[in-house]
Amino acid sequence: MTTTDPLLTITRALTDDERRLIVTRFVNLNPHWDGAEAADILDALDQGDAYLGKTEPFYEEHGGELPDARPARGFAVLAVVAMGRDLTVPAVLDVLQRASIAAGGAA
């Protein structure tokens, strides 16, 4: 099944373990979100401008190294942070590549 929804494209590119990690970490801090799926959480983080203290400096320093595939790249960045991983260009590119979003591509 092909989707053009960037949130779902990124979420489906994550492994089951990565999706579970996002849910577990988020629900541990926000128990009222019990039952939510990774896509719900990433959407809420995006809507709430979560992690701006990490994402804005990352974009300022490394934005030119990432494909201009918005909003997919934003969801990939949030996924990396929500998993508790170091926010690095290779980590974000890994998620984007698994989602078949190539450099210069759009999603």
Percent of the chain with pLDDT over 70: 92
Digit-coded pLDDT (tens) for 11-29? 999 999 999 999 999 999 9
Tokens describing residue 41: 């959480």
Q: Which residue has the higher pLDDT, 8 or 70?
A: 8
- Give the pLDDT of residue 107: 40
Name residues whose C-beta falls within 8 Å of residue 54's C-beta, 6 or more positions apart in sequence: 81, 87
- Give the pLDDT of residue 103: 56
Average pLDDT on 95-103 reads: 86
Question: How would you class 69 by CB atoms within 10 Å of its CB: exposed for 0-12, middle for 13-18, buried for 19 or more?
Answer: buried
Q: How far is CA 104 from CA 25, 27, 34, 65, 92, in A?
A: 32, 34, 37, 10, 14
Listed by start position, the domains of the chain span: 6-98
**pLDDT above 60 (res 100):** yes
Q: Which residue has the higher pLDDT, 2 or 75?
A: 75
Distance separating alpha carbons of residues 42 and 102, to the nearest angstrom: 21
